[in-house]
């Protein structure tokens, strides 16, 4: 056996030492023999809180009262009992092994009381030899309370860790001087730092030094026990500022806690909300404007329809008279025809816009010769141009593409007619020029006049339905306010876009671009 066995003399010296410590030393005890001090051993053993057992061959031959109580046996019951039997079955081999090997180290095992209850035991043993026989003294301490306290400490530490780690907000714990001593995962994720980058650095590392000069951290308020909530920016690992809200409090003399909330999402959500509100407001304004325009349109429409209708009915009535000469009859018929055409025009525009809006106007592409379309339109408008002494001309790029351009012919005619008609309507003693040229992958069409022009604040509005911002010459708008919105829609249906440049009293240029297919 490898254990150090105590000689009788050594044991005797130890007992004396203990007696001295306990104040039991009796004069002349140096002369006492080992067994004459039996009662002193007993006193010592009984005074101990630990259970003390003397074992021989693994069986108990002596025990103190604490040992009996600890395992719930009487002195008589414990004497002769195997040491392994007072531990749970899973730990008996361990106990036996320690006894057999004479191991003097400390170990833990679960003690088993007579009533079947269990406790955490800390065991230490030492072998000694007495009169040639091998004995072992074992002391057993009930460490259940300590173990439970340790367990509770571990559980509370784990609970704290899990709260800290699972917190959605960043958490920083600082020492009394403002050095970071703990940081959670959320904060590291938010800032891109590693824990080692921050631990034991001063918290000011997280802020822009210039900013700190202007707005220092309020340790003075924290020292007064105040909670300090601030909104500012911290600088992340890559130097990018992050808007945050930081709620700090001194939690003890040596610690403070800072809860750091990333405000980026909140700011984004607020911006989104503001933008949605803006859009809603715009949509509401548009709806109100459209409603207002519709009412204005209806009022305008009834006026517009009534004028030509009166012309038709009035002159038809006059035609009934038999006393009319043929020239007058002819003139009346012309008025009826013109009024009819005006009515048709209005009805066509209303139909066109409703067809576009209900998707009943398909796009039909074909190859067309722009030169011949332009010439036809020019001829058609010559009488109108002459009415107000305007010159009408056009130019077409001489590229092959102009002679074989793929587009929806009806729609392109309609758009050109609307724009040229407007140009002539709002110009006097001037010119209207129209044409097309190639611009990269687009065909760029334009209709230019040097008429009354349009003020900047109306440039967008004229593309709204039913909007008329100026009346034509002779105060006669001869229109519905639908020509431009229809034209813009038709261009968009062909994959293009339309815009206008204009200056009051100088004239306007309407542009529309169609893609080369």
- Residue 484 binds ligand ADP (CB under 6 A): yes
- For ligand ADP, give the closer residue by CB, 390 or 418: 418
Which of 469, 476, 515, 517 is close enough to bind ligand ADP by CB under 6 A?
469
User: Helices (H), strands (E): how many in the chain?
Assistant: 16, 17
Using CB under 6 A, which of the segments 155-163, 180-188, 381-389, 475-483 binds ligand ADP?
A: 475-483
Nearest to 78 by CA among 100, 58, 62: 62
CB of 408 to ligand ADP, least distance (A): 20
**Residue 368 CA: distances (Å) to CA of 163, 274, 361, 364, 490:** 74, 49, 19, 12, 17
CB of 463 to ligand ADP, least distance (A): 8
How open is the CA angle 190-193-199, to the nearest 5 degrees? 115
3-state SS, residue 392 = strand
111 with 121: CB under 8 angstroms? yes
- Residue 344 binds ligand ADP (CB under 6 A): no
- Residue 455 binds ligand ADP (CB under 6 A): no
Say how many C-beta atoms besides its own lie within 10 A of residue 159's C-beta. 10
Using CB under 6 A, which of the segments 54-62, 178-186, 221-229, 478-486 binds ligand ADP?
A: 478-486
Which of 480, 489, 498, 512 is close enough to bind ligand ADP by CB under 6 A?
480
Residue of closest CB approach to ligand ADP? 479
- Residue 308 binds ligand ADP (CB under 6 A): no
- Residue 346 binds ligand ADP (CB under 6 A): no
Structure tokens at 313: 């009915």
Which of 111, 430, 479, 496 is close enough to bind ligand ADP by CB under 6 A?
479
- Residue 445 binds ligand ADP (CB under 6 A): no
CA atoms within 13 A on the CB side of 314: 9
Distance CA 434, CA 417 (A): 11
β-bridge partners, 515? 442
- For ligand ADP, give the closer residue by CB, 308 or 479: 479
Distance CA 337, CA 383 (A): 17
CA atoms within 13 A on the CB side of 6: 16
CB of 367 to ligand ADP, least distance (A): 28
CB of 455 to ligand ADP, least distance (A): 10
- Residue 174 binds ligand ADP (CB under 6 A): no
- Residue 182 binds ligand ADP (CB under 6 A): no
- Residue 314 binds ligand ADP (CB under 6 A): no
- Residue 452 binds ligand ADP (CB under 6 A): yes
Residue written as tokens 């009533």?
115
* Residues ≥6 apart with Cβ < 8 Å to 433: 392, 393, 394, 395, 446, 447, 448, 449
Phi-psi region of 495 (alpha: psi -120 to 50; beta: other; left: phi over 0): left
Nearest to 245 by CA among 223, 272, 263, 225: 263
CB of 449 to ligand ADP, least distance (A): 5
- For ligand ADP, give the closer residue by CB, 412 or 482: 482
Which of 339, 451, 489, 498 is close enough to bind ligand ADP by CB under 6 A?
451
- Residue 207 binds ligand ADP (CB under 6 A): no
- Residue 390 binds ligand ADP (CB under 6 A): no
- Residue 112 binds ligand ADP (CB under 6 A): no
- Residue 351 binds ligand ADP (CB under 6 A): no
- Residue 104 binds ligand ADP (CB under 6 A): no
- For ligand ADP, give the closer residue by CB, 82 or 470: 470
| Terminal-residue alpha carbon distance, the chain | 103
Residues from 405 through 444 that contact ligand ADP (CB under 6 A): 418, 422-423, 426
Q: What's the gap between Cα 37 and its chain centre? A: 81
**Segment holding 50, helix H or strand E:** none
CB of 230 to ligand ADP, least distance (A): 55
CA atoms within 13 A on the CB side of 357: 10
Binding residues (CB under 6 A) for ligand ADP: these are 418, 422-423, 426, 449, 451-452, 454, 462, 467-470, 477, 479-484, 508
């Amino acid at each position: 056996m490898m254990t150090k066995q105590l000689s009788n003399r050594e044991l005797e010296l130890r007992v004396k030492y203990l007696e001295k410590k306990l104040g039991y030393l009796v004069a002349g005890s140096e002369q006492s023999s080992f067994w004459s001090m039996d009662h002193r051993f007993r006193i010592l053993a009984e005074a101990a809180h630990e259970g003390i057992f003397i074992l021989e061959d693994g069986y108990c031959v002596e025990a103190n009262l604490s040992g009996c109580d600890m395992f719930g046996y009487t002195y008589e019951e414990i004497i002769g009992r195997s040491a392994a039997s007072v531990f749970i079955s899973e730990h008996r081999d361990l106990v036996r092994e320690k006894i057999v090997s004479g191991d003097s180290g400390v170990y833990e095992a679960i003690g088993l009381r007579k009533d079947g209850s269990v406790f955490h035991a800390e065991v230490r043993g030492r072998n000694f030899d007495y009169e040639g026989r091998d004995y072992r003294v074992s002391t057993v301490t009930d460490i259940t309370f300590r173990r439970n306290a340790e367990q509770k400490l571990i559980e509370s530490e784990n609970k704290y860790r899990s709260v800290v780690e699972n917190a959605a907000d960043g958490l920083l714990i600082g020492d009394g001087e403002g050095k970071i001593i703990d940081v959670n995962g959320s904060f590291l994720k938010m800032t891109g730092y590693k824990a080692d980058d921050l631990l034991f650095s001063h918290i000011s590392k997280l802020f822009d030094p210039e900013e700190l000069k202007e707005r220092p951290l309020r340790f003075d308020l924290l020292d007064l026990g105040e909670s300090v909530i601030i909104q500012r920016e911290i600088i992340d690992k890559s130097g990018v500022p992050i808007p945050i809200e930081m709620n700090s409090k001194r939690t003890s003399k040596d610690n403070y806690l800072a809860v750091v909330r990333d405000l980026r999402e909140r700011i984004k959500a607020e911006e989104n909300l503001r933008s949605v509100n803006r859009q809603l407001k715009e949509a509401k304004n548009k709806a109100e404007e459209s409603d207002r325009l519709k009412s204005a349109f209806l009022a305008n429409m009834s006026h517009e329809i009534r004028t030509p209708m009166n012309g038709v009915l009035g002159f038809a009535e006059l035609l009934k008279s038999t006393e009319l000469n043929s020239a007058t009859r002819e003139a009346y018929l012309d008025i009826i025809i013109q009024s009819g055409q005006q009515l048709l025009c209005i009805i066509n525009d209303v139909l066109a816009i409703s067809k576009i809006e209900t998707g009943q106007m398909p796009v039909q592409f074909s190859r067309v010769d722009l030169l011949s379309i332009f010439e036809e339109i020019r001829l058609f408008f010559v009488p109108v141009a002459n009415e107000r002494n305007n010159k009408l001309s056009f130019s077409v790029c001489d590229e092959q593409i102009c002679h074989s351009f793929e587009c929806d012919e009806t729609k392109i005619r309609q758009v050109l007619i609307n724009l040229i008609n407007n140009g002539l309507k709002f110009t006097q003693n001037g010119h209207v020029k129209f044409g097309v040229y190639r611009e990269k992958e687009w065909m760029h069409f334009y209709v230019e006049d040097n008429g009354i022009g349009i003020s900047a604040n109306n440039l967008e509005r004229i593309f709204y339905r039913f909007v008329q911002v100026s009346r034509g010459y002779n105060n006669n708008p001869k229109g519905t306010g639908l020509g431009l919105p229809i034209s813009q829609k038709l261009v968009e249906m062909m994959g293009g876009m339309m815009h206008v440049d204009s200056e009051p009293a100088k004239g306007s240029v309407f542009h529309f671009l169609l893609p080369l297919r």
